[in-house]
Amino acid sequence: MEKMDGKTMDLVAENVSKLKELFPEAFTEGKIDFEALKEVLGTFVDDRDERYSFTWNGKSKARMIAQTPSTGTLRPCREESVDWDTTQNIFIEGDNLEVLKLLQKSYHKKVKMIYIDPPYNTGKDFVYRDNFKDNIKNYKEITGQVDGEGRNLSNNPETSGRYHTDWLNMMYPRLKLARNLLKDDGVIFISIDDNEVSNLRKVCDEIYGEENLLGVFQWRRRQRADNRNQSRVSPDHEYIVAYSKTENIVLKGTEVDLGKYKNPDNDPRGPWASIDLSGLATATQRPNLHYDIVDPQTGISYPPNPSRGWSKSKDNVLKMIKEGRILFPKSPKGRPREKKFVNDLNSTVTGFSTCLDSKHVGYTTNGTREVTSLIGGKYFDFPKPTNLLKTLIDQSTEKADIIFDFFAGAATTADAVLQLNAEDIGGRRFVVAQLPEKIDVKSEGFKAGYKSIAEISKERIRRAAAKIKKELATTGHTKNTEKYKKENYLFGKAETSVSSVFSVVKKIDLGFKVFKLDSTNIKPWEVDFDMTERTLEDFISNIKSDRKEEDVLYEILLKYGLDLTLPITERTIAEHKVFDIGMGALIVCLSDAISLEVVEGIARLKDELNPEIMRVVFKDSGFKDDVVKTNAVQILRTAGIVDVRSL
């Protein structure tokens, strides 16, 4: 029976085995022969001493940090969750590096869109410091979960010699691990400002591939310029850098406003719009665009605007006059215009502009107002406006996609997902992670009862969900009825009657499951522990004494790479508790004194539930005796269950 340990998947081993599959000739006695690998790769190898590369102090360590398995786990927290049994949304409290590591298997290639808003490294914000040796202990110290107070999250001042280096070392492993979670057609959006935009671009070029840069969007964050900058430059915008995982990814784009196209003259060619025909070049620049357009009916001649000319050549316009595509003015003071038909448009969609329209997506003040009005005070600085997130999510996802934000802050991304789902009866799911960063005891937020930013984030989601629920219960569903009817949304065929629309509205997932990062539930083997402090029971069981069954279940789910929102049902077999996860995908029995009847009962579940693959997990010390333990594997194998492990 194979044993599970407290570590997450070994990314290096995984990559080496992929490499071996591709280049078996570069392996001798299980090790990589670099010379042989170079030979296979031929001209693609660049081993010149001077070559184009982006590096900084600590880069190799940052790479190693990304590859070191996590010794943590995610412990479920029902009390802080909403609709635990049904929801598919997830909130994770913890350091996102460990969280990313823990999610590597369960969410590998599952996420359609990642949005992150990391510290911009302004000199005033703090940059999380990872610890290579024991990052979970480091996390607990930083967040004050051990030794009471916790370490101060000092900021990363610009005067520090490691200013950019610290930021890059923090971002590199996170961006690298995040990429593994993206679907092949997935997209990542990263908010950033001038401080680190150039470094971010370079790291992302390396991790995501420069050919996969979708665009660098500019977002005007405030309406009015200020005079705080000595050089009299007012930095009013920031960026959202977007990369796709692979090439040829298409965003939704912007629908052309077809409302402008009408057919007042019943033209058999269909609706049309009157379009300006003037150009943008002087006669010196483009002489062929400067000529008189003559109305063949009246003989009136229209000269070009001297600084602009026309947008089309004379031959082209003469042809268009013949085809009835030029509109001549009623008064000679007017200008000829083009009669543009919907049918002539190459596409009714234009690209999603890299200049975001803040009148539509909102400014920082909108974000602040939204969060303040929801949670009752200004307890969080600079949240993004929800419309900004709704726009990015709408551009890059379909209605059943997973959206991930691992620098959640005030949880704007989660709110945006809920709002969009309510608007189009979508089934998008969010996974967000946030550090329980302590709140200053002197701050208003602390006085209002919030001890960490993660507490603010969770409360924001709860209140945002409650607000949506209230709106849907009153006017929301009727407001959107027409939209719902038209669309063939997630729940299959379009609904037609208002009452059925209402019943669908009730299915919108407004809950979320809370998980918290902690050390593994499984006792480490190699630690040198003080025997006197341990009870005998403690010694026999491999599971830490302060952990619950449910904690262990979710650790097993993570190790198997199963979705954390799979339904879990409890059964009783021969008086022992047995958990059925995902309709037989995983059967877990954490009892002691397991008898053969229990094992046989589990074997029978294979036929009853008929899953594609069934895995079974027991506690290593959980069997009545060694005979049962040895026979268990055999009995299950006979039933067609080969993946049997112990903890």
Ligand X SMILES: C[S@@+](CC[C@H](N)C(=O)[O-])C[C@H]1O[C@@H](n2cnc3c(N)ncnc32)[C@H](O)[C@@H]1O
Contacts with ligand X by CB under 6 A lie at 95-96, 117, 119, 128, 367, 383-384, 407, 409-410, 412, 433-435, 437, 453
Smallest distance from ligand X to CB 331, Å: 54
Task: Give the shortest CB-565-to-ligand X separation in angstroms.
Answer: 21
Q: Which residue's CB is nearer to ligand X, number 335 or number 467?
A: 467
> Which residues share a beta bridge with 118?
none
Q: Which is nearer to ligand X, 136 or 581 (CB)?
A: 136
Residue with tokens 């309510």: 422
Closer to ligand X at the Cβ: 6 or 385? 385
Compare residues 405 and 580 and give the one whose CB is closer to ligand X: 405
- Percent helix, strand, coil in the chain (nearest 5)? 35, 20, 45
Cβ–Cβ contacts within 10 Å for residue 160, how many? 14
Phi first, then psi: what are they for 173, rounded to 5°? -65, -35
Is beta strand 301-302 parallel, antiparallel or unpaired with respect to 2-3?
unpaired
3-class DSSP assignment, residue 62: helix
In b/e form, how buried is each residue of 51-86, taking b as 16+ CB within 10 angstroms?
A: eeeeebeebeebeebbbbbbbbbbbbbeebbbebee
Q: Which residue is nearest to ligand X (CB)?
A: 409
Is the CB of 96 or the CB of 212 nearer to ligand X? 96
Nearer to ligand X, 453 or 472 (CB): 453
Distance CA 522, CA 541 (A): 9
By C-beta, is 154 or 497 nearer to ligand X?
154
**What CA–CA distance (Å, rounded) separates 102 from 432?**
13
C-alpha neighbours within 13 Å on the C-beta side of residue 214: 29
| Minimum gap (Å) between residue 381 Cβ and ligand X | 8
Q: Identify whether the C-beta of residue 77 lies closer than 8 Å to the C-beta of residue 454.
A: no
CB of 68 to ligand X, least distance (A): 15
Could you tell me the two tokens for 274?
Answer: 């009157």
Question: Cβ distance 278 to 335 under 8 Å?
Answer: yes
What is the DSSP pairing of strand 568-573 with strand 576-581? antiparallel
**How far apart are CB 164 and ligand X at their closest, in Å?**
17
CA–CA distances in Å: residue 124 to residues 74, 158, 235: 31, 9, 16
Beta strands in 245-336 (DSSP E): 254-255, 272-276, 293-294, 301-302, 326-327
Closest distance between ligand X and the C-beta of residue 168, in Å? Answer: 14
Tokens for 332, please give them: 């000679």
**Residue 413 φ then ψ, to 5°:** -60, -45
- Smallest distance, Å, CB 620 to ligand X? 33
Closer residue to ligand X (CB): 107 or 489: 107
Of 156 and 541, CB closest to ligand X: 156
State in angstroms the smallest separation of the CB of 370 from ligand X.
9
For residue 67, the minimal CB distance to ligand X (Å) is 18
6 vs 119, beta carbon nearer ligand X: 119
- 19 φ, ψ (degrees, to nearest 5): -65, -40
Least Å distance, CB 367 to ligand X, is: 6
487: left (phi over 0), alpha (psi -120 to 50) or beta: beta
